């Protein structure tokens, strides 16, 4: 199969694509090259969508199903881009009864994302979690490493605006 690098240019910069070529070149034809290629590719490209997996499969002469199997097996690999910031809304029991659900819905509406997704501008990756051990502060939203307690739907935008 011919590797289709051109489609990658829709999602990645020419420098990133060049880097991918360079990574593959170093491992091509060597047994056991798949995982190191995926690791390095993820560092350079940040995520490994299907077109990238196709290129790697073609270049390493492996079935696409194998590459996909490895990418989805190891939690280190991701097929969707991560945002610059990670927003985690707690939906554990304590936060939930104190209105965590409404916070989650507000974020989903304001930024047009669903659980596990990243905003189109790659600003936020939005996730929900079950209990962060900060129940006294509920409902809790954690952005990157910072905990924001006693959240209200009306405050969501203001708090998130602190993160570019």
Q: Which residues bind other proteins (CB under 8 A)?
A: 1-2, 50, 53-54, 63-69, 71-73, 75
Angle between helices 50-60 and 64-73 (to 10 degrees): 120
Query: For other proteins, which is the closer residue by CB, 73 or 161?
Result: 73
Distance of CA 163 to the CA centre of its chain: 17
Q: What DSSP character marks residue 114?
A: -
Kindly state the smallest distance separating residue 130's Cβ from other proteins, in Å: 16
3-state SS assignment for residue 120: coil
For residues 124 and 129, what is the distance between their CA atoms, to the nearest angstrom? 15
CB of 73 to other proteins, least distance (A): 5
Rank residues 58 and 143 by Cβ distance to other proteins and give the closer one: 58
Least Å from the CB of residue 108 to other proteins: 22
Q: How far is the CB of 67 from other proteins (least distance, A)?
A: 7
**Identity of the residue, 55 or 95, whose beta carbon is nearer to other proteins in the bound complex:** 55
Q: Give CA angle at 81 (7, 123), nearest 5°.
A: 120
What is the C-alpha separation between 52 and 30, in angstroms, rounded?
Answer: 19
- Eight-class DSSP state of 8: G
Nearer to other proteins, 66 or 109 (CB): 66
């Amino acid at each position: 199969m011919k590797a289709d690098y051109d489609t990658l240019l829709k999602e990645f910069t020419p420098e990133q694509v060049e880097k991918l070529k360079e990574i593959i070149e170093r491992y091509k034809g060597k047994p056991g090259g798949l995982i190191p290629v995926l690791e390095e590719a993820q560092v350079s490209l940040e995520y490994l969508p299907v077109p990238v997996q196709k290129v790697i499969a073609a270049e390493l002469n492996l079935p696409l199903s194998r590459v996909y199997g490895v990418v989805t097996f190891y939690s280190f690999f991701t097929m969707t881009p991560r945002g610059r910031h990670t927003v985690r809304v707690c939906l554990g029991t304590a936060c939930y009864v104190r209105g965590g659900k409404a916070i989650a819905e507000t974020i989903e509406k304001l930024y047009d994302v669903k659980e596990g997704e990243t905003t189109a501008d790659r600003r936020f990756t939005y996730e929900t979690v079950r209990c962060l051990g900060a129940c006294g502060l509920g409902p809790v939203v954690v952005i990157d490493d910072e905990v924001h307690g006693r959240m209200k739907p009306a405050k969501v935008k203001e708090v998130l605006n602190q993160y570019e």
